Structure 1
């Protein structure tokens, strides 16, 4: 895996590393390096060497730095001597760049590949509101031709509905979007819809060319019934939990299969396998989804073999019964 050094003047690198973890999960082989007011170039150089020494693969290193020509850039550039055939630097650090770099590591094996790939995403993340403030020759890429057909008669086509407590993260942003080719990623959650920070982070985490939205469950039900504006739109729905998915289905969102990817463990839940944890409310919600005729596809990524949801739920129920 390519190692990533995020470097900045002040605490910016630490903050953006933390923000990236909120969206994409904690990352191995990724370190923040900061230049504080009391420190000099040599201090930063030592920190960068220490970060690189912690990586599993020190042959492939990508530096994400705040300013071209600044001290973090200059120190990374000095360390690159003798490694230019493998290492790379991208300046102009932003959150979209970091998230795209994380996602790219799942399918790309070299720092050069990732550096070239994330440039477009980093540039597209720079936008302005009101939109008329953008210059006419703005280099911010428009939505790819053929991807946007909003306004055409018809309803959404649902290419994937997934339950994942992490919502939009690397497995969704890369593997699932590539296999299902959505035009829209829609996070369906009353809780997230009220959290402006999480909404913005999710929107920024969307892969290039795919719009991300966050809507309450009732709004998704309303959108699902609209047959005038969503013709040609391929929707990937993300739910934090089975209860929200059940409300959507009972309200009329026409799903046939739900992919069950990840449900985080918390107090009161049992964990019958490595990635799924349940309490009684979860088990009851899945039972009602099954009664409604839905099938379950238990996979983290498309290449995984599907698990048996009935067996998983039986193990979870037995463990909960033992705890009573």
Structure 2
């Protein structure tokens, strides 16, 4: 996996690492390096060298730096010259850039490839209000709970439906969108529709060029029955839990396969594998989904091998029975 070093004046690198970890999850092979007011060029160069030495693989390293021409950049660049065939530096570090880089590591194996892929999301993360202050008119990014009825005759083509307690995060925004190429990402959740903070986090994680929405379940059911306005639209649906999915299926959303990506652990749940945790209600709901004819595609990212959902549910039931 490509190592990432965040470098900045002051504590900015530490702060952005903390923020990105809150959104994307804790990361391996990532270090924050800071230049403090009492320090000089040699100090931060030593910190960068120490961070590099902490990585198991020092062949592929991506440096995300706050300012071109500043001391963190200059000292990074002095080390970079001998490794420029493998290493890469991107300046203007911001939160969308870091999140995109985290996600890209799951499908890209070189620092050069990741550096090239994160530029658009870094730029798209810069917005201004009021909008008339924009020098260049941007395409609107629709991250609301309203999906306008514009388009060709026809209904949605569902390219992916996924259960993921983290909803739209780096693995989804990079690996899965590149694989299934949606034109819209739709988070289907009554709870998230009412949560302004979570909606904003989803907006930040949306990849450039793809319209993202958060809609309540009943609205998704209505949209799925609209055969007049969504022709040519490739929809990726994200569900926070199997219960919301079951409501959508029972309401008539025509899904045949569900990708089961992650379900967070909480009190009263058992965890039969690393990424899926179940309560009795979860198991019962998955059995109802199976009875409804759904097939399960259990994997975090497209390159993972598919796991057997029947075996996972059986193991989860056995573990729950032991707790009774």
TM-score (norm 2): 0.88
d(CA) in 2 for partners of 1:10, 1:218: 48
Matches within 5 A, 1:34-183: 34-136=34-136, 150-183=150-183
d(CA) in 1 for partners of 2:135, 2:204: 22
SS at match of 2:248: helix
Q: CA deviation at 1:271?
A: 1.7
Query: Does the aligned pair in 1 maintain the 2:104–2:175 contact within 8 Å?
Result: no
SS at match of 2:281: helix
Q: CA deviation at 1:265?
A: 2.0
d(CA) in 2 for partners of 1:197, 1:258: 27
Runs of 4+ in 1 over 4 A off after TM superposition: 140-143
Query: Does the aligned pair in 2 maintain the 1:8–1:66 contact within 8 Å?
Result: yes
**Cα distance change, pair 53–198 in 1 and its aligned pair in 2 (3 A):** farther
Q: CA deviation at 1:149?
A: 9.7
Alignment correspondent of 2:283 = 283
Q: CA deviation at 1:254?
A: 1.9
Query: Does the aligned pair in 2 maintain the 1:150–1:231 contact within 8 Å?
Result: no
d(CA) in 2 for partners of 1:234, 1:212: 12
Deviations for 1:191-239, whole angstroms, at most 9, x for unmatched residues?
A: 3333333322322223332222222323322332333432211111111
d(CA) in 2 for partners of 1:152, 1:262: 34
SS at match of 1:82: helix
Q: CA deviation at 1:291?
A: 2.8
Matches within 5 A, 1:155-304: 155-304=155-304
**Cα distance change, pair 300–108 in 1 and its aligned pair in 2 (3 A):** closer
Query: Does the aligned pair in 2 maintain the 1:261–1:275 contact within 8 Å?
Result: yes
Unpaired runs of 5+ residues, structure 2, are 142-147
Task: Identify which range, 188-197 or 60-69, moves more after superposition.
Answer: 188-197
d(CA) in 2 for partners of 1:90, 1:306: 35
Unpaired runs of 5+ residues, structure 1, are none
Alignment correspondent of 2:144 = none
Query: Does the aligned pair in 2 maintain the 1:155–1:229 contact within 8 Å?
Result: yes
Aligned residues: 318
Task: Identify which range, 188-197 or 26-35, moves more after superposition.
Answer: 188-197
Q: CA deviation at 1:41?
A: 2.9
Q: CA deviation at 1:151?
A: 3.1
d(CA) in 1 for partners of 2:28, 2:264: 19
Alignment correspondent of 2:145 = none
d(CA) in 2 for partners of 1:22, 1:265: 16
d(CA) in 1 for partners of 2:224, 2:129: 28
Deviations for 1:140-163, whole angstroms, at most 9, x for unmatched residues?
A: 6789xxxx9943333221111111
Task: Identify which range, 35-44 or 72-81, moves more after superposition.
Answer: 35-44
d(CA) in 1 for partners of 2:310, 2:111: 42
d(CA) in 1 for partners of 2:167, 2:307: 20
Query: Does the aligned pair in 2 maintain the 1:152–1:231 contact within 8 Å?
Result: yes
SS at match of 1:80: helix
Q: How large is the Cα RMSD of the aligned pairs?
A: 2.4
SS at match of 2:83: coil
d(CA) in 2 for partners of 1:215, 1:305: 31
